[in-house]
């Protein structure tokens, strides 16, 4: 939708934004509303519930490997949900930065954030690799599990790169990349260029594109993929073990 409005000016909606709002992009205003991010939290919560439910059924069915796999996946999802909803890494990073008396994010804060994300990612990756036999015969689960891990991993990696390397490089990575996307996708006439220049004086449009449209969309796709992987496995597992009768 944002492409049709912001890049193609469908029904003249972009003209309306330019003439009536300070920021001429639909995506900017859409991501200001509390819709996409809470939806991601609900989806992660639902995924955690499904994964935990499968682990519980496997435990009662004395299926140890299935229990271990989905139990580890549930643990990883719990960390993901807490991080995404609470941004707890920023709290710990701020404490570490103050301890080492660093300005901004600080080098030690960057190292902490890298280790933090690696731990969460490795929990899931270990489970996926170690217990491959659990889901290898479930094609849809493999497909959506892979897509979910890749998309969410890209979103989290982008989040890390977009903040952690700023003090090291001396500039905003998200802003530099955002300029490329915004200028090449949306700035297709002089009217929108003028409105864009005016908007950049009031808010960081380029950073917000990366932080909201790029990063959040990847994470939402990842959460959806993980949820689908669990649902497909749950239904197939129940049928296979005749637990629906």
Is the distance from CB of 222 to CB of 121 less than 8 angstroms? Answer: no
pLDDT score of 220: 92
Mean pLDDT of the chain: 85
Q: What is the pLDDT of residue 109?
A: 67
The pLDDT value recorded for residue 14 is 78
What does pTM read for this prediction?
0.85
DSSP assignment letter at 53? H
What is the spatial distance between Cα 178 and Cα 38, in angstroms, rounded to a whole number? 24
Which helix (DSSP H) or strand (DSSP E) does residue 204 occupy? none
Q: pLDDT tens across 48-95, in order?
A: 999 999 999 999 999 999 999 999 999 999 988 888 776 676 676 677
pLDDT in tens, 82-122: 887 766 766 766 777 676 665 555 667 677 777 888 888 89
* pLDDT at res. 7: 77
Assign 158 a pLDDT band (cuts: 50, 70, 90): confident
* CA dihedral angle for residue 26, residue 29, residue 32, residue 34, rounded to 10 degrees: -70
Domain spans in the chain, listed from the N-terminal domain onward:
51-239
Percent of the chain surpassing pLDDT 90: 38
Q: What is the mean pLDDT of residues 202-221?
A: 88
For residue 135, CA distances in Å to 128, 164, 175 come to: 9, 35, 40
């Amino acid at each position: 939708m944002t492409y049709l409005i912001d890049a193609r000016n469908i029904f003249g909606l972009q003209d309306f934004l330019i003439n009536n709002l300070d920021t001429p992009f639909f995506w900017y205003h859409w991501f200001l509303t509390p819709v996409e991010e809470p939806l991601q939290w609900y989806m992660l919560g639902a995924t955690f519930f499904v994964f935990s439910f499968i682990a519980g059924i496997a435990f009662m069915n004395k299926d140890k490997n299935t229990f271990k796999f989905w139990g580890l996946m549930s643990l990883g999802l719990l960390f993901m949900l807490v991080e995404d909803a609470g941004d707890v890494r920023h709290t710990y990073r701020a404490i570490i930065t103050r301890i080492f008396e660093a300005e901004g994010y600080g080098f030690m804060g960057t190292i902490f954030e890298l280790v933090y994300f690696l731990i969460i990612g490795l929990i899931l990756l270990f489970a996926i690799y170690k217990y491959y036999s659990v889901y290898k015969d479930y094609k849809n689960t493999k497909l959506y599990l892979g897509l979910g891990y890749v998309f969410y991993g890209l979103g989290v990696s982008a989040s890390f790169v977009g903040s952690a390397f700023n003090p090291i490089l001396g500039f905003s990575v998200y802003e530099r990349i955002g300029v490329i996307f915004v200028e090449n996708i949306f700035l297709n006439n002089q009217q929108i260029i003028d409105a864009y220049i005016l908007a950049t004086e009031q808010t960081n449009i380029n950073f917000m594109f990366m932080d909201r449209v790029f990063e959040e969309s990847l994470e939402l796709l990842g959460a959806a993929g993980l949820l689908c992987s669990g649902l497909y496995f749950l239904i197939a597992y129940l049928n296979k073990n005749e637990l629906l009768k």
